[in-house]
Amino acid sequence: MATITFIGLGNMGGPMASNLVKAGHDVTVFDLSKDAVAALVSEGAKTAETAHEAARGAECVITMLPAGQHVEAVYLGDDGLLANLPAGTLVIDSSTIAPETARGVAEEAKARDIPFIDAPVSGGVGGAKAGTLTFICGGAEETFSKAKPILEGMGKNIFHAGEHGSGQVAKICNNMMLAILMAGTSEALALGVKNGLDPAVLSEIMKQSSGGNWALNVYNPWPGVMEGVPASRGYEGGFLVNLMNKDLGLAFDNAVKNHAAIPMGSLARNLFELHAGQGNGALDFSSIQRLYRPEDK
């Protein structure tokens, strides 16, 4: 068991930290949300007044933050964690950020003899709660091997994608594809219902046919078709539209830098940006269904 500091207790980070507590690790948490911290303390975690205090004495620091600027603010500079952690402290960042941002943090960590990996996740809030997340790691093989036993307390599939930043590249490719699939699934369901089909029956047909995909099979976007998913609770919780927009922006920026054509990814980004602009940014990304069915509000 390890002494772990977990920073960032949002929809994903909270359940991830909870699973580390359940696994028997000595976990100290920090977040700006007092309610999020209190929930983890009630499960057996410790807490501290600042991120620096929370990280004191930790063998491993894990962060799950909204965007690259937050990761840089936590780790870099004279007041950042890297400047104050002892050499040898394992650092794992599970945020989804630009590959070059992850590489920048990794370079600073290396200069201070601090092993670092970028380890973004896939699997959504359900996977975070169930401890079945997929971790997509970038960094040295030795650091990956050191981190893997800890990651196994939060996930089921642990991949080493390659060097620093590779985890982020794989993650933005995955989320771009997910956005495309969710938009396409929503479009197909709306067309079927316009023609008088029952969305549940149509979903079952497509699940057993060539149109089956993750968005349809386990995260159906049509309200009432599938229990336990955001679509059946007013699209509350889950992976927010605003966060999907951030990831699609990362994919777009990366494509520009690498001269890669992503016509469907660009279209998905525009669709989700349009959806967010209509006041849906704080809803789960499966609420893109409303773009094709505006009366469902």
Angle at 126 between CA 99 and CA 233, to 5 degrees: 115
What pLDDT, on a 0 to 100 scale, did the predictor assign at position 124? 83
What pLDDT, on a 0 to 100 scale, did the predictor assign at position 296? 66
286 has pLDDT over 70: yes
Query: Which H or E element spans position 266?
Result: helix 263-275
275 has pLDDT over 80: yes
Rounded Cα distance between 222 and 185, Å, is 9
- Confidence (pTM): 0.87
CA–centroid distance for 59 within its chain: 23
Rounded Cα distance between 220 and 289, Å, is 10
If pLDDT is split at 50, 70 and 90, which confidence band does 151 have? very high
188 has pLDDT over 90: yes
CB 92 within 8 A of CB 105: no
Query: Could you report the per-residue pLDDT of 235-270, keeping only the tens digit for each?
Result: 998 889 999 999 999 999 999 999 999 999 999 999
For 61, phi and psi rounded to 5 degrees?
A: -115, 130
CB 192 within 8 A of CB 210: no
Tell which residue, 218, 231, 217, 226, has the closest CA to residue 285.
231
If pLDDT is split at 50, 70 and 90, which confidence band does 88 have? very high
Tokens 């949002």: give the residue. Answer: 10
Catalytic residue annotation: 171
